[in-house]
Structure 1
Amino acid sequence: MNPKISDSIPQEDKDFDKQHIWHPYSSMSKPLPCYHVKSASGVRLYLDSGQSLIDGMSSWWCAIHGYNHQELNDALVKQVNLMSHVMFGGITHDPAIQLCRHLVELTNPKLECVFLCDSGSVSVEVALKQAIQYWDSKRQPEKKKFLSIKRGYHGDTFGAMFVSDPENSMHSIYTSYGPDNIFAEAPQIGFDDEWNEADIEDFKRKIEKHHKIIAAVILEPILQGAGGMRMYNPQYLKRVRELCDKYDVLLVLDEIATGFGRTGKLFAQEHANICPDIMCVGKAITGGYLTLAAVISTRSVANVISGGRTGCFMHGPTFMGNPAACAVSVKNLEILRTGAWKSQVDTIEKILLKKFKPLMESGHRKIRQIRVLGAVGVIEMKNPIDVALYQRRFVELGVWVRPFGKLLYIMPPYIISEDDLNHLVYSLISVATDESLA
């Protein structure tokens, strides 16, 4: 039976949405169907039609503790009753101080200085600006290029676009409008595969040749997200750190999607036991409640920038350090610090591997590869997916999964029960192997 999409919404509201509201990665003239959510609790989204869906996406990585979480609700309400916002220029407040203390304590001891900003994409902009200003402060203004790896994705704002893959990404049409950065071949897929030094050779050649004009290397550690959900060997990341040190280039790690436990480590860089010079975090930082991100740098980076021509870092978003977002983040990180996330993510990974194993061993003519890491499960198809068709089939099965490209993937809230996860994985496999779907 086909699901009823928002039957009780007035027709005029449905028409208005379709005609006037631009949804992410969609078209105004031929929009993808939208399913109207009226409420959410735990791991379930409740549609206007009365149907409930098990959320397999954590609202794009961020709702790690599920929805309508009482402790997070209480933290947010308490703060809003005190003040929802106040400018951060010349003013400070308890939620920001507490949040930054948590971030400094949770990350590598070398990462000491926190810059709060609006979103993950903006945090990448901040990190790039810090890297350029760092070298300007050291009287090496020629170091303004960035080296990244292909298949990477760092956000949709302009600076972030120009360190994302210029050819195999959604940003290729903008290439003539921004800087030409340097891109090395992406590492081979295979988190557990035997390390092959040849995998780093192209990166090695690029940094050796261009290091005098490179401000920083930026990449997603261990797991590349929107560029293909690719998982690579931690030794690659370790070698990148070594080469950055050898050629005097800063290392920026984009932990926006991978941070706060998603890959089985609190931060994905821990798989390689390294530390960046600058680190971006976002998405799950507020537990999915509000938009917020942070850029955390070493004291050395901060001191060099502060001792430069301007004497300060030239960036200051209006909503920097928003008290409401900081307060709910503090409670979110307190929940993470109990350590429950570790067993939750380990359980999810074991179930994903167990349920995917028969299909991984037998294969299927439509499937290219199946990948699992932490609380992430990916089925890569051989051919591109009809998003609207596949999305409708998932909703019929009572789950929310948002495909893209050739990928069917899930990253459920950590609190998901075994029964709900089993149903989610069953639905993923069922849709992937459905011969009636093109």
Structure 2
Amino acid sequence: MKHLDFVPKAKTTRGSKIYMENNNILIDGVSSWWTACHGYNHPHIINSMNKQLQEMPHIMFGGFTHAPVERLASRLVKLFNNKYEHIFFVDSGSVAVEVAMKMSIQYWINKGDKNKKRFLCFNNSYHGDTLGAMSVCDPEDSMHNIFSGYLPKQINVDIPDNDLLKNKFKDIIIKNKQNIAAIILEPLVQCAGGFKFHSIETLQFISKIAKDNDILFILDEIATGFGRTGNMFASLDKSVDSDIICLGKALTGGTVSLAATLASKKVYNEFYSDIEEKALMHGPTYMANPLACSAANASLDLFEKEDRLLQVKNIEKKLYDKLFECKHFSGVKDVRVKGAIGVVQVKKMHNLNWLRQEFVKRGVWIRPFLDVIYIMPPFIIKDDELDLLINSIIKVLPEWSKKLNEV
């Protein structure tokens, strides 16, 4: 972009630190877009990848299988208590969503229903940057609204988190259920759409409505999965009955790109046929890449060996204890915390580039966008590093507020 004149140059990374070309060090508050849950360059992941690099960095997955993907698949199935026994590995989160959408539409086609081809999605949602995924993002306030005339028209609603919206949601479902292939939602936190939170009760309500009306339910856990919201996955709640899960981002611990679309047996069975037309025809070149799978397996090792969820709980406590001080600052609309996510929402964003540069000057990598200043640090972050992130926001916001009064 023309106005993007501030681009710091990174040299190396380690733990929660980004070492810059100018010899400065930044504490990372973003985990490289929420991927580096174990911090950067974790030796266990790097060693696993180095070993795989020597043996087989890549092999096409069409017609072959290999040990890293078989091990990863079996472990993911167990993580979800055998609820999703069938996994389609892809190379990015956006493609995982595309596959989930194709899977949903073809599920109904394979059952003989060609009318159910639309999706119900939610305002403030974000599911990716490819065309199908863009169509289920917020149609007005996302970065994709200029493409609205080119995208499939979906059904967009508010998150039904009160009685009025619940009744409205039910009415929309009843009116459109014969055309809805699936409902898609980021559970508990709509991340890139502005970090809007909703309760587990709201998630349970949506799940029940989908099931009662014979509509598939897709949970996009690409950003929320692997402990970020406090539990390993929001979709593990026993009262949440979903059909398809999308995973990505922290799947490989922030090393290389890998994502997955998990399907229940109910969905899979509609594709299990000798009729070729019933097969899911999708095959990315780098799907199930062995190097990426080795990283993902090493990442899962760390979740098993080290108490990452306890670390998330400790991060959450510190965010609760300190970040809410920002609520009293001029120009701040809300402060909210869930798991290892801390959010300061402002009434109106201004001087965005100034904010970003000011954080870098203070030795932290915090990247505000839309109307939010947020922290999603690596789970292994040290107390003093997390203090620096939080205190930087507390110190910068009053200066930012003064600039607001000057506007």
Q: TM-score, normalised by structure 1?
A: 0.89
How far apart in 2 are the matches of 1:267 and 1:328? 19
1:409 aligned to 374, 394, 398, which one? 374
- The 8 Å contact of residues 64 and 284 in structure 1, kept in 2 or not, is answered as yes
How far apart in 2 are the matches of 1:269 and 1:139? 29
How far apart in 2 are the matches of 1:271 and 1:405? 31
Give the SS at the match of 2:281. coil
2:317 aligned to 347, 350, 353, which one? 350
1:383 aligned to 309, 324, 348, which one? 348
Q: Which residue in the other structure is 1:278 paired with?
A: 244
2:181 pairs with 1:215? yes
Q: Matched residues, percent identical?
A: 42
- The 8 Å contact of residues 37 and 254 in structure 2, kept in 1 or not, is answered as yes
Q: Which residue in the other structure is 2:286 paired with?
A: 319
- The 8 Å contact of residues 76 and 324 in structure 1, kept in 2 or not, is answered as yes
Q: Which residue in the other structure is 1:338 paired with?
A: 305
Deviation sequence 1:175-228 (CA, Å, 0-9, x none): 11121110111345xxxxxxx433422221211110001000001101001111
Which region of structure 1 is more displaced relative to structure 2, 395-404 or 302-311? 302-311
How far apart in 2 are the matches of 1:359 and 1:175? 36
Note the C-alpha offset of 1:339.
5.2
CA RMSD of superposed structures (Å): 1.4
Note the C-alpha offset of 1:275.
3.3
Q: Which residue in the other structure is 1:396 paired with?
A: 361
Q: Which residue in the other structure is 1:49 paired with?
A: 22
How far apart in 2 are the matches of 1:273 and 1:266? 16
Uncovered stretches (5+) of structure 1, i.e. residues with no partner: 1-26, 189-195
- The 8 Å contact of residues 385 and 404 in structure 1, kept in 2 or not, is answered as no
Q: Which residue in the other structure is 1:9 paired with?
A: none
Distance 1:94 1:184, change over 3 A: same
2:115 pairs with 1:148? no
Q: Which residue in the other structure is 2:112 paired with?
A: 139
Deviation sequence 1:251-306 (CA, Å, 0-9, x none): 00000000000000101224574131000000000000000000001011011123
- The 8 Å contact of residues 385 and 405 in structure 1, kept in 2 or not, is answered as no
Give the SS at the match of 1:310. helix
Distance 1:141 1:61, change over 3 A: same
Q: After superposition, where does 1:91-106 map in structure 2 within 5 Å?
A: 91-106=64-79
How far apart in 2 are the matches of 1:211 and 1:337? 41
Give the SS at the match of 1:414. coil
Q: Which residue in the other structure is 1:179 paired with?
A: 152
2:233 pairs with 1:267? yes
Deviation sequence 1:365-418 (CA, Å, 0-9, x none): 210000100000000011113222111100111000111011100100000011
Give the SS at the match of 2:39. coil
Q: Which residue in the other structure is 1:19 paired with?
A: none
2:202 pairs with 1:229? no
Deviation sequence 1:131-160 (CA, Å, 0-9, x none): 001000000011000001111000111000
- The 8 Å contact of residues 110 and 275 in structure 1, kept in 2 or not, is answered as no
Give the SS at the match of 1:317. coil
- The 8 Å contact of residues 211 and 241 in structure 2, kept in 1 or not, is answered as no
How far apart in 1 are the matches of 2:260 and 2:123? 24
Q: Which residue in the other structure is 2:12 paired with?
A: 39
How far apart in 1 are the matches of 2:291 and 2:363? 33
Amino acid at match of 1:403: P
- The 8 Å contact of residues 228 and 312 in structure 2, kept in 1 or not, is answered as yes
Amino acid at match of 2:28: D
Note the C-alpha offset of 1:70.
0.5
Amino acid at match of 1:246: D
How far apart in 1 are the matches of 2:238 and 2:220? 15
Q: Which residue in the other structure is 2:395 paired with?
A: 430
Give the SS at the match of 1:321. coil
Amino acid at match of 1:203: F
2:257 aligned to 291, 308, 327, which one? 291
Give the SS at the match of 1:356. helix
2:169 pairs with 1:203? yes
Q: Which residue in the other structure is 2:133 paired with?
A: 160
How far apart in 1 are the matches of 2:3 and 2:272? 49
Aligned residues between the structures: 402
How far apart in 2 are the matches of 1:374 and 1:241? 22
- The 8 Å contact of residues 326 and 344 in structure 2, kept in 1 or not, is answered as no
Uncovered stretches (5+) of structure 2, i.e. residues with no partner: none
Amino acid at match of 2:316: E
Amino acid at match of 2:287: M
Q: Which runs of 4+ in 1 moved over 6 A?
A: none
Q: Which residue in the other structure is 2:204 paired with?
A: 238
Note the C-alpha offset of 1:312.
1.4
How far apart in 2 are the matches of 1:304 and 1:167? 35
Q: TM-score, normalised by structure 2?
A: 0.96
Give the SS at the match of 2:178. helix
How far apart in 1 are the matches of 2:206 and 2:121? 10
Q: Which residue in the other structure is 2:99 paired with?
A: 126
Deviation sequence 1:7-47 (CA, Å, 0-9, x none): xxxxxxxxxxxxxxxxxxxx1x3324110000000100000
1:89 aligned to 54, 59, 62, which one? 62
Amino acid at match of 2:89: L
Distance 1:112 1:399, change over 3 A: same
